Structure 1
Amino acid sequence: MQRQISVFADWNAVTELLAFSDTLEADWQLPHDYVYLLRLVIEEVATNIVKYGYDEQNRDQIQLLCQYEQGVLTIIIRDRGYPFDPHDAPPPDLGREVEQRTIGGLGLFFVREYADTLQYRHDPASGWNELIVTKTMTMLDRLRSLPLFQVVPEAILAELAPRLAECRLAAGEILFHQGDPGNECFVILSGAVEVITFVNGTELRLEVFHAGQIIGEMSLIDQSPRSATVRAIEPSRLVALNEAVFATLIGSSPALAMTMLRSIVSRVRNTNQRMIHDLERKNAELLAAYQQLQAAQAELIRLNRLEEELDVARRIQQSFLPRVLPQPAGWRIAGFSRGAQAVGGDFFDTITLPDGRVGLVVADACGKGVTAALFVALSRSLLRAASQAVGMSQSPGSINTSILLHAVSLTNDYICREHGDANMFITLFYGLLDPLSGTITYINAGHNPPLRIARNGDVAEELHEGSLPIGIVSGQTYEVYELQIQPGEKLVAFSDGITEAMNPAGELFGDARLQACLQTLCHHPAPDLVAAVVAAVDTFAAGAPQADDITLLIVERLSDSQL
């Protein structure tokens, strides 16, 4: 370690140099003997330089360099004043009475006596004077400077000091490892070390020891392996005490034994408190983990029950779809429905009436999940019951209108009246097919307009969008429309889950792709066409999650060549 300072050689120089020495004392943790010598050099030599080395007109700098390595303090003080070798100063006459002595020279005498070496040189070319003072602390001096050994008799320290060797550690260097034999303990002369252990591979710092403290004595006392690893935090110097030296120190000073006993008891108590704290913390963590596990198990049970309920709802909803579709002579009817969630809000249905007419239903409840499925089930049941409650004695045209208006109005008014606060509505296409004439009479309550596809695959007609969905306005008036399906033509009814299917890039399948698909595949019979359209939508979606259900119903009138 080395530091230096340069000050102007006036009367403020001594104050600045003493402040510099105070900093070194704190930063380097200098022993008291070294501090005394450093301050003595500053107060005596620097004062003489200021007072006698310069005239008032030619003052220059005073340089002070201090180096502290391996227990040796080197002090170098330089100036460009008048040359003066301290060795040339006559020694004070200590035999005379104080009143009879010559004034001066006593400070330099103390410097010469207290330092181990004192060298002076003058460079005529540059004019620099250099005084080099060194002080080497013996092992006895080092031990004596530590509070731990100040209670040990001087004779014991003097006897043991030559038998002790210094151990030096660089920052990060290991003094001993956990599990090593404990044949000696160590006194820290300077620096600092940390006690560490490893828990499940993670390093844990237990304690930090500084200069003047003893470490490793517990293993030496009970002859057990080291319970932890000790590593230097900064450059450190230590002295090792084997069992014989340790026993001599303890036996020579009951005060030292008591001090060490207090230190051991304090560390054991701290360790116990730390263990208790760790146990309390781990118990709290275990309790929190147990509570989280209980909550997770409860949530898992809840989710399992919900999944079971959804599975039941899914099976119930699937049971609402017609298992076997009617196939009137000269016609093919095919359908498909798949929910975006476990339980969807789309459905299709076919209602066979006594006189051979077939009701065709495609609907989409707003929202998804269980609530939408309940409204699907309610709407399907109302439509079926109302459709079959109308008498069949009227003419074909009027009976179709009566069935449609009665079924749709009853369903709409019931939902508005009984479930209006649920803010649910359902788009609905409901058509009545007369297989003999090829006529379809229908009401469209806000649903995607179905398409009439010609024999060549072109869109021959887009049906009317009609009025508001059911469940919005009680007493809603519905328009009844009629279209004719020619041989070879198809009616394609679908939900918006077809046209609004989205691919990973965020693009929609759209009406244009649906119509192009229908044109390309127009030669397919209705069941194959349903499967092909669904496959085309899935290919376009490319696995992207979908927000809406998919429902498709195709009614095909066979041409004469297909009969």
Structure 2
Amino acid sequence: MTQPDAANGTTTTALRAVFSRLSPGDLQRLRQVATLKHYPANTVLCHEGEIERVFYVLHTGIVRITQRLSDGGERLLALRGPGEFFGEMALVEDAPRSASVTAASDVQVIEITAGIFDQVLLHSPSLAMTLLRQAYSILRDTMQQQIGELESKNEELRRAYRDLQIAQAELLRGERVKRDLEVAAQVQRSILPTAFPALNGVTFAARAQPAREVGGDFYDAFQLDDQHVGVLIADVSDKSIQAAFFMAISRALFMTEARRRLSPGDVVRAVNELLLDVSSDDNMFVTAFYGVLHMDQRLLTYVRAGHDRPLLRRADGRLEVLDGVGRFLGMLSGLHVEERTVELRPGDRLVLYSDGVPDAINLAGERFGADRLRAIVQSQAADAATLAEAIFTSVLAFQGGAPQFDDITLLVAAID
């Protein structure tokens, strides 16, 4: 068989596989105008957006049908194999290609141009009907695919809209929480002292850094009368917005009761009962150290209600720990606390602190600890402000880049 005969046989076989309903005469007329061509892989046979009036029957190989996306990528619409055809719409309308067709492998295709095909259609209605059926079938499949994609996108949009509504609600809640935190922080700043009373024989200094926007620690030194000064440091169990307001209530109760009675034990017991009356949270409580300085006698009478033990550095460098029995406030009625008295002398330094000082953690997971704190206090014979700063900077340096889990609060009194 000669090469033209072989090509004609190949063309006839390919056309018969696609147009099986054509009469032998129609098939012969179509074969006479068709051209068998070979293209290597990655050849673009149809260009999206271009007017190309050529119809293809795929004899061997695979082609990809794709469309451009708005972001510059492309979407795969279909794969075509031997016996299938593409580009048929170019024979019935003078419009740009709706998609691109690229050879996914080496291919053999039969090409029929529109001009020649128009003449064939005049003499072969059955060929026109076959093409129309195939075009309708492809159009229907394409529309079903597009409908499926639209439904999928609509569902994605519905999910995105729901997510947007949820995110918007979360944002509003976050804004409310932010405003609440700002209010709570303002409350705290307004109740913590900005200055201490100017007294002969004693000076005060304090440093504080909350672990969050708002903290649970509070402190104060306030004059009760000409001869007595109240000294207070306390720690609310929680670090929430509610804790900030609980802290404000606790401080107000301390300030009120301290001016009604001189005994620290009586003050603390009264505050405990009042907290039980006003608090609705069974999990919130307060630890406190409250003392009264008797300026004329240089005595400190105090109670320790579950709070960390203060340190008293004597003028000669000796270190004493102010102990005392007592439970925290705001949990149980009938509070028992032990009232104690210690003599103060010129050169003594009294250091009150919250548990955030010894419990500070560094990146290695180590605690700052009571021993480090005592060593700093024992080595410092400085004034109140210098000693408070020395302790505070040492704790922060030890903590380094580790997160702060608790409030760090100090109140120092220097006896002169």
Q: Provide TM-score, normalisation by structure 1.
A: 0.68
Instruction: Answer yes or no: is the 8 Å Cα contact 1:451–1:459 preserved in 2.
Output: no
Q: CA deviation at 1:482?
A: 1.2
Instruction: Answer yes or no: is the 8 Å Cα contact 1:182–1:220 preserved in 2.
Output: no
Q: CA deviation at 1:311?
A: 0.8
1:70 maps to none
Q: CA deviation at 1:258?
A: 0.8
Whole-Å separation in 2 of the counterparts to 1:437 and 1:156: 127
* Structure 2: segments with no counterpart, 5+ residues: none
Q: 1:246 to 1:212 in 2, by over 3 A?
A: farther
Whole-Å separation in 1 of the counterparts to 2:339 and 2:414: 22
2:328 is aligned, of 462, 469, 492, to 469
1:195 is aligned, of 58, 62, 65, to 65
SS in structure 2 at match of 1:553: strand
- Correspondence 1:210 to 2:75: no
Q: CA deviation at 1:211?
A: 2.1
- Correspondence 1:497 to 2:356: yes
- Correspondence 1:280 to 2:151: yes
Whole-Å separation in 2 of the counterparts to 1:255 and 1:291: 53
- Correspondence 1:526 to 2:395: no
- Correspondence 1:241 to 2:99: no
2:224 maps to 353
1:447 maps to 307
Q: Provide TM-score, normalisation by structure 2.
A: 0.90
Instruction: Answer yes or no: is the 8 Å Cα contact 1:165–1:240 preserved in 2.
Output: yes
Higher relative contact order (CA 8 A, sep 6+): 2
Q: 1:308 to 1:339 in 2, by over 3 A?
A: same
Q: CA deviation at 1:354?
A: 1.9
2:415 maps to 557
1:143 is aligned, of 6, 9, 12, to 12
Instruction: Answer yes or no: is the 8 Å Cα contact 1:140–1:157 preserved in 2.
Output: no
Structure 2 counterpart of 1:142, which letter? T
Structure 2 counterpart of 1:470, which letter? L
Whole-Å separation in 2 of the counterparts to 1:213 and 1:252: 24
Bigger-Rg structure (1/2): 1
Moved over 6 A (4+): none
SS in structure 2 at match of 1:554: strand
1:517 maps to 376
SS in structure 1 at match of 2:363: coil
Structure 2 counterpart of 1:273, which letter? Q
**Aligned 1:146-161 pairs, distance under 5 A:** 146-155=16-25, 157-158=27-28, 161=31
Whole-Å separation in 1 of the counterparts to 2:31 and 2:139: 30
SS in structure 1 at match of 2:279: helix
Whole-Å separation in 1 of the counterparts to 2:84 and 2:196: 94
Q: CA deviation at 1:503?
A: 1.9
Q: 1:224 to 1:206 in 2, by over 3 A?
A: same
Whole-Å separation in 1 of the counterparts to 2:318 and 2:117: 106
- Correspondence 1:488 to 2:308: no
Q: CA RMSD in A?
A: 2.6
Instruction: Answer yes or no: is the 8 Å Cα contact 1:448–1:465 preserved in 2.
Output: no
2:45 is aligned, of 162, 172, 175, to 175
**CA offsets per residue over residues 477-509 of structure 1, 9 Å max, x none?**
211111122211100000011111122222222
1:6 maps to none
SS in structure 2 at match of 1:443: strand
Instruction: Answer yes or no: is the 8 Å Cα contact 2:327–2:336 preserved in 1.
Output: no
**CA offsets per residue over residues 147-185 of structure 1, 9 Å max, x none?**
334444545654664654322345554333323441311
Whole-Å separation in 1 of the counterparts to 2:96 and 2:271: 88
Instruction: Answer yes or no: is the 8 Å Cα contact 1:153–1:252 preserved in 2.
Output: no
1:69 maps to none
Instruction: Answer yes or no: is the 8 Å Cα contact 1:351–1:360 preserved in 2.
Output: yes
Whole-Å separation in 1 of the counterparts to 2:265 and 2:179: 38
Instruction: Answer yes or no: is the 8 Å Cα contact 1:459–1:515 preserved in 2.
Output: no
**CA offsets per residue over residues 77-100 of structure 1, 9 Å max, x none?**
xxxxxxxxxxxxxxxxxxxxxxxx
1:308 maps to 179
Q: CA deviation at 1:383?
A: 1.6
Structure 2 counterpart of 1:384, which letter? M
2:250 maps to 379
Between 214-223 and 481-490, the greater mean CA deviation after superposition: 214-223
Whole-Å separation in 1 of the counterparts to 2:237 and 2:146: 61
Whole-Å separation in 1 of the counterparts to 2:59 and 2:339: 105
Structure 2 counterpart of 1:143, which letter? T
Structure 2 counterpart of 1:242, which letter? T
Structure 1 counterpart of 2:364, which letter? A
Q: CA deviation at 1:528?
A: 2.7
SS in structure 2 at match of 1:476: coil
- Correspondence 1:365 to 2:260: no
Q: 1:243 to 1:455 in 2, by over 3 A?
A: same
SS in structure 1 at match of 2:357: helix
Whole-Å separation in 2 of the counterparts to 1:364 and 1:312: 20
- Correspondence 1:339 to 2:205: no
* Structure 1: segments with no counterpart, 5+ residues: 1-115, 118-135, 391-399, 559-563
Whole-Å separation in 1 of the counterparts to 2:280 and 2:24: 102
1:225 is aligned, of 92, 96, 99, to 96
Whole-Å separation in 2 of the counterparts to 1:159 and 1:324: 108
Instruction: Answer yes or no: is the 8 Å Cα contact 1:170–1:235 preserved in 2.
Output: yes
Instruction: Answer yes or no: is the 8 Å Cα contact 1:140–1:161 preserved in 2.
Output: no
SS in structure 2 at match of 1:556: strand
Instruction: Answer yes or no: is the 8 Å Cα contact 1:345–1:368 preserved in 2.
Output: yes
Whole-Å separation in 2 of the counterparts to 1:162 and 1:265: 26
Q: CA deviation at 1:190?
A: 2.5
Percent identity reads 35
Instruction: Answer yes or no: is the 8 Å Cα contact 1:164–1:240 preserved in 2.
Output: yes
Whole-Å separation in 1 of the counterparts to 2:90 and 2:32: 24
Whole-Å separation in 2 of the counterparts to 1:306 and 1:269: 54
**Aligned 1:232-271 pairs, distance under 5 A:** 232-271=103-142
Instruction: Answer yes or no: is the 8 Å Cα contact 2:52–2:96 preserved in 1.
Output: yes
2:396 maps to 538
Whole-Å separation in 2 of the counterparts to 1:459 and 1:275: 87
Between 436-445 and 463-472, the greater mean CA deviation after superposition: 463-472
Q: 1:555 to 1:151 in 2, by over 3 A?
A: same
